[in-house]
Amino acid sequence: MTKRIVRREGQRSLSFTSPLLARVLSSRGVLNADDLDHSLKGLLAPDSFLGIGEAATILADALESDSSILIVGDFDADGATSCTLMVTALRAMGARQVNYLVPDRFKFGYGLTPEIVDVAVQFKPAVIVTVDNGIASVEGVAHANTLGISVVVTDHHLPGRELPAAAAIVNPNQAGCEFPSKSLAGVGVAFYLLSVLRTELRSRDWFAHHPEINLASFLDLVALGTVADVVPMDQNNRRLVEEGIRRIRGGHCRPGLKAMLLAAGVNPQHLTTRDLAFSIAPRLNAAGRLQDMSIGIECLLADEVRAVELAEHLDALNNERKEIETDMRDIALAHLKQLSLDEETAAGLCFYRPDWHQGVVGIVASRIKEKSHRPVIAFAPAGDGELKGSGRSVAGFHLRDALDAIATRHPGLLLKFGGHAMAAGLSLFEADYERFREAFDQEVRRTLGEAIIEQVVMSDGEIAEPVTVQLAKEIEQAAPWGQGFPEPEFDGKFEILDQRIVGGRHLKLLLQPEMGDPVEAICFNHGGLSENRNIRCAYRLEVNRFRGMEKPQLIVSVIL
C-alpha cells in the first residue's frame, strides 16, 4: 500500500488570526470571525424540527398527569449521555416517575425490540422515550402500541424503508425534516427536545409551581456524547461542544464526569475534544461493551462519593477491555500480514473468530482500518448460530449504504443492520459469513476502485516557523475539532537527534525541524526504530503538560 500526502488548500490572509491558523481554518470553510463564534446565541432554532412539537406535547401531558415515563437508551457513550440527560432534566423539571432501561447487548441486541418492550412493562410506563435508537424499531414500537404505551422516538441514525408507527419521531435525518443540521448526535436530539418541552411547559404555567431548569447546565453531557459518537462537527455541533467544554473547564460538570476525568488523569482545566474522545468515552463505553451500560449511566447520575466508586469500576472495565482488544487485534493483524493489500481481493476486510468478544469487535475493526486503510468489519458469535459484526469505514465509502446495497442484492443475507457512513453494525448467520465476506469485498471494490491501494494523508502543509508552546496552544484553543472539522495535521522533514522505544511499542523521538529548537515527538504503536537519519512525517502538534511543565510535542501519525 502506497502512502501519499495531499495538502489542503487554505488562505493566509484572514485578518482575525495568525497566518498558520488562517490557512488551517480557511481550508475548513472558516472565512470570517463569525464562523468562530461558538456562543449559544447562534444555536439553530428548533422550529423546523419535524415531530418535535408533538413529542414535547406528549411529554408535557405526561408531566401534568404525573404519568410514568421510561427512557430506553443505547449501550454506547452517546446513548448513555442521552439517557442521563433525559432522566436528569425531566426529574429537574418536576417529573416524579422517570426511569430508564438499557438493553443488555448480549441478550437483546440493539434498539427497542419487542422483547425489551416486554421488559419495560414492569415499569408500567405511559410513555416510552427512545434515545439514540428507535428509528429502526418497527416491531418494537408496534408491540408497545398493542400494549397501550405511547412511544416517542428520538434518534439520529439513518431511517430504513419503513418508519415505526410511533406517537412522535424526532430525527433530523427522517424524510421531510427541514432542520438544517443533519449531524446532531443522539444526545443533541434529546437536548433539542428538552428545549422545546421547556417552552411548552412555560406556556402551561408549569414553572409557576416547579423549578425551571437552565439547559446549558447539561451541555457537559451533550459535549461528551457528541464527541464520542464521532458525528460531523458542523458549526451547530461546535457550539454545543465548545460551550460544554467551557463549562467542564470551569468546574461546572456533574460529579460522575469529574470522577472519570480524575481516573483518566485528565486535568479538566485543559480539557480538549481529544480527551473526551480517547480518555473519557472509552471508559464509559467499556461498561456497555463488557457488562452493562447502566454502570456508566449511574456514574453520570451519581453524587460525588458514589461517582468516585463507579468511575474506578469503569476504569477497571476499560483496562479489561484493553486486554481483550489487544489479544483480538494481534490475531487480526497476524492474519492481515498474510494478505497482499495490493491485491483487489483485499479491498474490504472481514475478520471472525469463534472466541472473540462481541462487545469489542468495533474497536478491533477500527484498529485494523487504521492499519490497512480499508473498510473493515469484525465479527463475533452472538449465540443461536448468529454473528454480530461491527464495521469501520474510510473516506468515500458509506458503510451503512453499502450494507443496504448488499441486502438488496442478496435478499436474506443480512438479518439486520444499521449505522452511519463511517460506522455500522449488522447480524447474519454464521453459515453465511463467507458469502457475506465475498459480497462485502465486491461492494468495496465497486465503490472505491483503485483508491483502495493508496493511503492518502490530508495535511495542512508545513509549519514554516519555530515550533513553540504558544503555537501549540493557539491550535489547541482555536476550535473544538472533530469529524468533518479535523484537528490540524501537518507534514515536514526533520533530522532525528535521538530515538528509543518506550512502552514496548511506541517510538519516542527528538527531532530537529528546519528552524527553531529541537522538539519531542512520539509515534504510537510503531514498534521499531527508524533506519534513516532524516525523516518526513505527518503529525499533530499538541501541548505536553507534565508536572507543571509545558512543552510542544509532535504526535506522528505517518512516517513516509
Crossing angle of helices 186-203 and 235-249, rounded to 10°? 80
Look up residue 354 and give its three cell numbers.
Answer: 469463534
40-214 carries CATH number 3.90.1640.30: yes
- CA 359 vs CA 104, 105, 107: distances in Å: 11, 8, 12
Look up residue 413 and give its three cell numbers.
Answer: 443475507
User: 296-344: per-residue pLDDT in tens?
Assistant: 999 999 999 999 999 999 999 999 998 988 888 888 888 777 765 544 4
Q: What is the pLDDT of residue 467?
A: 94
325-454 carries CATH number 3.40.50.2300: no
The CA-based dihedral angle spanning residues 287, 293, 294, 299, taken in that order and rounded to the nearest 10 degrees: 50
Residue 260 DSSP one-character state: H
- Helix or strand or coil: residue 3? strand
User: What does the alpha-carbon distance between residue 224 and residue 245 come to, in Å, rounded to a whole number?
Assistant: 9
Nearest to 543 by CA among 323, 179, 271, 217: 271
Class level of CATH domain 457-559: mainly beta
- Give the per-residue SS3 of 341-396: CCCHHHCCEEEECCCCCCCCHHHHHHHHHHHHCCCEEEEEEEECCEEEEEEECCCC
Residues 6+ apart with CB under 8 A from 99: 68, 69, 70, 71, 87, 123, 125
Q: What is the pLDDT of residue 118?
A: 96
- Helix or strand or coil: residue 154? strand
CB atoms within 10 A of CB 216: 14
Specify whether the CB–CB gap between 460 and 485 falls below 8 A: no
Q: Write out residues in the chain with pLDDT < 70, as ranges.
A: 1-2, 12-13, 106, 339-346, 450-454
Q: What is the pLDDT of residue 526?
A: 80
Residue extents of the structural domains in the chain: 40-214, 325-454, 457-559
User: What does the alpha-carbon distance between residue 508 and residue 501 come to, in Å, rounded to a whole number?
Assistant: 6
Q: What is the pLDDT of residue 340?
A: 55
Q: What is the pLDDT of residue 344?
A: 47
Q: What is the pLDDT of residue 259?
A: 97
Q: What is the pLDDT of residue 450?
A: 63
